[in-house]
Amino acid sequence: MFTAPQLLNLINTYLSELKYDRAPHNLYEPIKYVLAVGGKRIRPVLMMMAYNLYKDDISDILPCATGIEMYHNYTLLHDDLMDRADVRRGKKTVHRVWDDNTAILSGDAMLVLSYQHICSSHSAYLNEILDLFSSTALQICEGQQLDMDFELRNNVTEDDYIEMISLKTAVLLAASLKIGAILGGAPKKDSDLLYNVGLYTGLAFQLKDDLLDVYGDPIVFGKKLGGDILCNKKTYLLIKSLQMVNDNQSLELNKWINATAFIPEEKIVAIKNIYDELGVMRFCEEKMHLYYQKALDNLDKITLTADRREVLEKLIHALMLREI
């Protein structure tokens, strides 16, 4: 059974050997730039690990794993553009290095390339894999639209938020595990349970991301802190705060949410102070641990040898703590 670092090394090596020699040069340079920046490659690692639970030789699925990583990075190009983000993984975002149009078009090219890589899957499973991958891609678009819609609403509930992050973030982790299991020949019960493992892990992962955007180390986090605050993103922290504020805190919080002109650092500090006063970090951590436990509960229902279960369990734990 391969460990997560071993799988990461395999996918990184494979990605580094990919050639994009087609013209025009300016379409493919951003793609090479994004892939060279690196990242944790969580989704392809999960996919390969799920496959490795059932089969030992993973060389055949590296192209499919690449398709998942390519797709994820395509979403980041467009996400950064919509959020006007300056930094991703400690490097300038594509629309800052090049321009908005390049980020859109190179992202579109990455989407096409991701499908080409996915289509390299074994023909016996191709229809099932493509159906799952396509439905997941559509769900992610739905989640992104909900995320943008929420920026204009102050009545977003916790359930609304969980639905949004399930679509925008968690379903791709879930699909990655299920695709790996399907390609590995896993029983349907196992592949469905692994989907649930990925879904709950993704929810815990995004809740941790909400915390890190406010309370993390910007060097470790790979981007500036407070980006969600500046964009009025309805994170779990903000939603919980809107539920808990007293009259004075409500006035202060809504003042910053509705402000059209402000000094970014002042807005971040002011809203973080309200979060601290309300103690919403603790509520977010409790929610995160709830989904983490649900992921483990689903993993426990799968018949696996102890050593194989342990490898995946360690990866899930590391994802929740953002140690990977």
Please tell me the predicted confidence (pLDDT) of residue 300.
94
Does the structure show a pLDDT above 70 at 87?
yes
Please tell me the predicted confidence (pLDDT) of residue 19.
86
Please tell me the predicted confidence (pLDDT) of residue 13.
95
Q: Give the pLDDT band of residue 315 (cuts 50, 70, 90).
A: very high
Does the structure show a pLDDT above 90 at 272?
yes
State the total domains in the chain.
1
CATH no. for residue 21?
1.10.600.10
Strands, E assignment, the chain:
87-88, 91-92
Q: What is the pLDDT of residues 106-162, one digit of tens each?
A: 999 999 999 999 998 777 899 999 999 999 999 999 999 998 898 888 789 999 999
What residue numbers bound the domain in which 166 lies?
Answer: 4-321
pTM over 0.75: yes
Determine the angle formed by the axes of helices 158-165 and 236-244, rounding to 10 degrees: 180
Q: What single DSSP character describes residue 168?
A: I
**Spatial CA neighbour of 277 closest among 236, 257, 249:** 249
Please tell me the predicted confidence (pLDDT) of residue 275.
97
